[in-house]
Each structure stands twice: as C-alpha cells, then as structure tokens.
Amino acid sequence: MYRASLFANRSFSFAGPAAEPCYAAPVSRRDVLQAALALPPEERAKLAGDILATLEPPPGVWCEDDPGFIEELERRATEANEHPERLVPAEEAFARIRARLRTKR
C-alpha cells in the first residue's frame, strides 16, 4: 500500500496502481486552493488548464472540439474577405461593447 501526503494534515492511500484513492479525511475546496496556490506559476497554469479541460463550455460558447467551430471560422473569414467594408476597427468595436455594458448596469 502506498501512502502520500496530499496536504499537511491529510493523506490518502492507494491499494494499487489502478485503485481509486481513499481519503483519510475530507478535502475541502479551500484546502485544494491553498495547495494549488503554493505551486509555482507554471504548475498552477497547467493545473488550471487541466481543471478547465474537464468542464463543458457554457451554452453559446464555441470551442475547438465543437464540430461546427472550424466551419464557423471559415464562414466568418469568407464573409470578411468578401465584404471588407463591413469590418469595424478593434478600438471602435471595443468602444461599442463598453458602451453597451455601461447601459446595462
């Protein structure tokens, strides 16, 4: 049996390589956060990415794994190339968004 210290006052055990961990005490979200914050920045970034990868994107948000993602990008690129007069400079677009957000508060 392998024992490893997960946090200062908590530990978990494995009966073997394929076994599920058996926690000796409940681990709170706060404990996990404190342990994560103690990691170097690069490790925190990897951990954050690993956790985010387990979540489904919210409705209406495109992600790379979505079957229509590439098609939508290609459609938008084609539209931009065919109608460059419809394009809006980034600063103007951001100003419009900021104005909309101010009116919704």
Q: What is the pTM of this model?
A: 0.42
Return the domain boundaries, the chain. 2-52, 69-104
85 vs 23: which has the higher pLDDT: 85
Is the CB of residue 68 less than 8 Å from the CB of residue 61?
A: no
Task: Give the pLDDT confidence of 18-62 residue by residue, as tens digits.
Answer: 556 665 677 899 999 999 999 999 999 999 999 988 988 788 787
Q: Which residues pair with 3 in a beta bridge?
A: 13
β-pairing verdict for 10-14 and 22-23: antiparallel
pLDDT at 5 over 70: no
